Structure 1
Amino acid sequence: MCRNIKTLFNFEPPATEAEIQASALQFVRKLSGFNKPSQGNAAAFDRAVIEVSDAARRLLASLQTQAPARDRETEAQKARERSRLRFTA
């Protein structure tokens, strides 16, 4: 899995449109192997980002959970701690 794609479901506050778009862009970059597509591939690349964003938005809207929403700052702190442990060894 691409490490740059963040979990967007079950957070308070909910994922923003910018976060969904950024995740879609990272996903399409990973699949295509392009960080920035050539002019000939730009339309297909941009269309794929839009379609993945739409699919992600529908997915997030349809998921259900009984778990309480996670706090973004708490999860970010946990990630920083995991990173610190990983890279200071």
Structure 2
Amino acid sequence: MKNISMKDDMVKETGVEAQGVVLDTLPNTTFRVRLENGKKIIAHISGKMRKNYIRILTGDKVTVELSPYDLTKGRIIFRNR
């Protein structure tokens, strides 16, 4: 019997990256972001940003990875300078 780990079976679903501006800070490190195309989404901070204590304020330009299943939710993966 072959020993197969879970990582071999799991395929990472990559989302769509988009640029946006943080409009509002919501509870639990969640933010309202307006994308370049004018849509407003809800986004949370990625784990690496949280681990490195990267602060996000209203008005910051961010890169967001949108979920392929629900385009109204996303993850903030980078804060632009």
Shorter-chain-normalised TM-score: which range? under 0.3
Structure number with higher strand proportion:
2
Considering Cα pairs closer than 8 Å and 6+ residues apart, tell me whether 1 or 2 has the greater RCO: 1
Structure number with higher helix proportion:
1
TM-score under structure 2 length normalisation = 0.23
